[in-house]
Structure 1
């Protein structure tokens, strides 16, 4: 393998995306060095403290990039990816696919994967924007040609994506299940921990408290179910309206909000429930065919699921008999679903146990291992097919940038066949260069160096270099790392010259432009 590195690019803040963290952990356990490049977010645990741009975690690294729009974000992420030069680029959702397209076209020998968590061009927020929907779908369809592998969250969304985007192969279904080995809690113990009565009937809602989640419907139904309490775990995006609804319906004593918890704490807490609620509203293809994480988190905690009757939940909840679906416009339908769950608890518990045995993250790890085997197989084929023959560079006509001690320049002339040379040197040492190398032509650097790439002096220098008709340039350096000379590189590449480096290692090698992007420039790309 090239360098056993994977970059995962996500436009979501890392705090919320548990699937990305599980994928990163899995790839790290398989021996890869993993970087998650994600959107700069607020510090959830401590809002007064800023999240770092660069963070080293136990198994992977996190690089946070400022988001000033989708195109801007993808460009910034691409520059970071290019500096890291990974073997695998793992793009999360359609809104990071452009970064993958750039990587496929401008980086060598990279394996690209797109992981569709959602069908973004069919999301509810752009239902009334047909032109935007059409444009995003066309972009994803075109971009998908640059990817080697497709992943999805459910069999139903896989079929939709393959048909609508004309994918060249079936997406692999990586289900967003929790770890089975990490989630074994006793309900009574957790209820005692949170001072919840053991005989209380509880409906659990986990996720963002927001319109479109069926919460208004649930509050309305709760009036008819005096024996049930509603517990909500997640951030409130209603901006006070939810509390107002609860107050108007006089449900303050039976509705309990616990705010945003870490994933481990949340998985522990939802164990207190008797039923898990999913109220996804119909109206868009994304809701109809993709699966919420809630389904697996509820079942992993041993809860039967009561879910709205969109296609994905009819397929899983009714099809696997792990709960019951209901019609969001019919209160009686919800009550009948609740009665079904209460009367068939023993059968449902057995089905849930079977469901979690087959649907857990340990099973998904095996699918990821299969994908990695395909990557390794493809890499071996490419290494045989595209292996370059090693040969010495013979440069007869060359421009040499003197940015190293004179002995380095002497070694360069002694060890390489150079017929005609033009040395670019600082104005203060031109006389020394002419004495030591009388057969070479000399051109002085601009007075201010190359810090202003397109100022008047550099334009004059560019004309002189063009007139020489020379196509190769050597940058000399006392260090193998020449990243601090990135302005020089950009200048010569702009003029169409091939760039080589000659360092203390006394090897003349062709260099790619990624070597000239210093990390300090990456920090600028991330932040500004």
Structure 2
């Protein structure tokens, strides 16, 4: 019997979107023949995967023209590609995937990585935000199979559309060291790690300011994004060049080698819009699996995990002095640090992709 074909569409960087990679591997285990469709991005990392990857170079890489070009190219590709199922990742791929699925009469599954229309970059941009809300209003009630990354987003969409969206969190595999490599940080001090996209609202500026009130702790930043240069300039203004270290982009296959080297992990996303407020960042679970205590803000989904599993401490607000005091108190409490590490060892046996991926069986 021939394998069923599935076409997976994503605008993110294929080399670093580990959620999509894990789901593709799950689909292969279910005997699907997987084709992942994405785009060529500047400085992207070439990857060797067990599924076919198609990357298109675009004339436009930002704003409305990019989304229009991407969806037109994607729609054209889908119409001339034989597939049994289409998996759309996020709202920015959904228009082409939806109409292609209707035209070809094939099944559509939708994976919402975030509350797209409520993202921080859309706050204060009424026209743009209303455009994405209009797309959600049209498509989401019509998509029969859909899941997302946090319970708060599930509840938001269900209250708005009564669409019974499912929950599949972005959790690491138990054995997430894909390539073992000896790595080091450019400092002898203790370290607090931020890993992820460098966009507004990630708590990095308050954390940089907090370093003025903490001795012998450096900030390690792994990732890239639109505010990278702005953050580097901010570091210079704060005279923190010797305490803040930008490590750039690291391939997901090697990332865990760095994560486990850190002393602490930060999840200080600020509630800039409902998308951030309801977020459940995958780095939270990465830190748990690496057994590094977490410093986190009081976002409902993050707070739930930190409190339910006792894997870190929460800051009461984002003032640099508050962050600094929380960190200093934790680092001075050896008993609490040991308790957190013990709790993380237990938590990662529960919060693992091997268990979470079973929820996908109802969609594929």
Is the TM-score greater than 0.5? yes
* C-alpha separation in 1, matches of 2:91 and 2:295: 30
Pick closer, same or farther for the CA change 1:338–1:370 going to 2, 3 Å: same
Of 305, 318, 321, the residue aligned with 2:307 is 318
Q: For the Cα contact (< 8 Å) 1:341–1:348, is it kept in 2?
A: no
Q: For the Cα contact (< 8 Å) 1:3–1:87, is it kept in 2?
A: no
Superposed CA deviations along residues 1-37 of structure 1, whole A, max 9, x for unmatched, are 8850111111223123111111112111221110111
Q: Which structure 2 residue ranges, 5 or more long, are not aligned?
A: none
Pick closer, same or farther for the CA change 1:184–1:260 going to 2, 3 Å: closer
Q: What value does the CA root-mean-square deviation take over the aligned residues?
A: 2.6
- Structure 1 segments (4+ residues) deviating >6 Å: none
Q: For the Cα contact (< 8 Å) 2:295–2:315, is it kept in 1?
A: yes
Q: For the Cα contact (< 8 Å) 1:236–1:259, is it kept in 2?
A: no
How many residue pairs are counted as aligned between the two chains? Answer: 355
The 5 Å alignment of 1:11-30 reads 11-30=11-30
Q: For the Cα contact (< 8 Å) 2:88–2:94, is it kept in 1?
A: yes
- The question of 1:113 aligning with 2:109 is answered yes
* C-alpha separation in 2, matches of 1:70 and 1:185: 34
The 5 Å alignment of 1:243-258 reads 243-258=232-247
* Residue aligning to 2:293: 304
What is the TM-score of this pair, normalised by structure 2?
A: 0.88
What SS class does the counterpart of residue 97 from structure 1 fall into?
helix
Superposed CA deviations along residues 179-214 of structure 1, whole A, max 9, x for unmatched, are 11234999xx957x55754xx321111123343221
Deviation of the 1:338 alpha carbon: 2.1
Of 165, 168, 171, the residue aligned with 1:174 is 168
The 5 Å alignment of 1:492-507 reads none
Pick closer, same or farther for the CA change 1:294–1:241 going to 2, 3 Å: same
- The question of 1:39 aligning with 2:33 is answered no
The 5 Å alignment of 1:114-513 reads 114-164=110-160, 166-169=161-164, 171-183=165-177, 197=188, 200-235=189-224, 237-238=226-227, 240-339=229-328, 341-342=330-331, 343=333, 344-372=336-364
- The question of 1:64 aligning with 2:55 is answered yes
Superposed CA deviations along residues 84-135 of structure 1, whole A, max 9, x for unmatched, are 2321111011111112321232112x22111010111101111112343233
Pick closer, same or farther for the CA change 1:260–1:150 going to 2, 3 Å: same
Taking CA–CA contacts closer than 8 Å with sequence separation of 6 or more, which of the two structures ends up with the larger relative contact order? Answer: 2
Deviation of the 1:252 alpha carbon: 2.6
Superposed CA deviations along residues 251-295 of structure 1, whole A, max 9, x for unmatched, are 232222211111122211111111101221222000000222211
* Residue aligning to 1:429: none
* C-alpha separation in 2, matches of 1:211 and 1:127: 11
